[in-house]
Amino acid sequence: MPWVLPDESDMPISFKEIRIGSGSAYAGKKVRDIPLRSAANVSIIAVSRGGRVHYTPGPDFQIYPGDRLILVGLPTELKEAENLLNKQVVSTNDDLSQSDRFDIAEIALAEDSVLHGTSLADAQFHRIIL
């Protein structure tokens, strides 16, 4: 059974979901490289990606564009964390190696496609032979 705070709790704690944008300075970084605790005093309690939830991600868990981070902390600290995570990369393409760069593309599928209505996790693109 999941742990739930009672409706009338006097604990000053809140939860916030923040989506990582493709231009975020932290897209592609490991949890250990995101200063959420030191800069905002909040913690990541889960990451939702491609229809799956990863609870209590460890320090080597890598964050990608489109991930939804569930954070816990005080409301003012969560706002600081949101500002931090929304910080955009300010550099030219020359400054980024190909492995550090992320591009997101939207691909339209025909309604009769076997992939139509399938989550990215269930589509298993890495196994599709073209």
- What is the C-alpha R_g of the chain? 17
Report the number of distinct structural domains present in the chain.
1
Report the predicted TM-score, pTM, of the whole model to 2 decimal places: 0.65
Confidence at residue 101, expressed as pLDDT on a 0 to 100 scale = 56
Token pair 């009769």: residue: 112
Domain range for 71: 14-91+98-105
pLDDT in tens, 21-57: 888 999 999 999 999 999 999 999 999 998 899 999 9
Tokens in use for 90? 């300010």
Q: In CATH, what number is assigned to the domain containing residue 25? A: 3.30.70.1450
44 contacts 77 by C-beta, under 8 angstroms: no
| Whole-number Å distance between alpha carbons of 63 and 27 | 6
7 sits in which H/E element: none
pLDDT in tens, 80-116: 999 999 988 765 555 555 555 556 666 777 888 887 7
- 111 domain-assigned: no
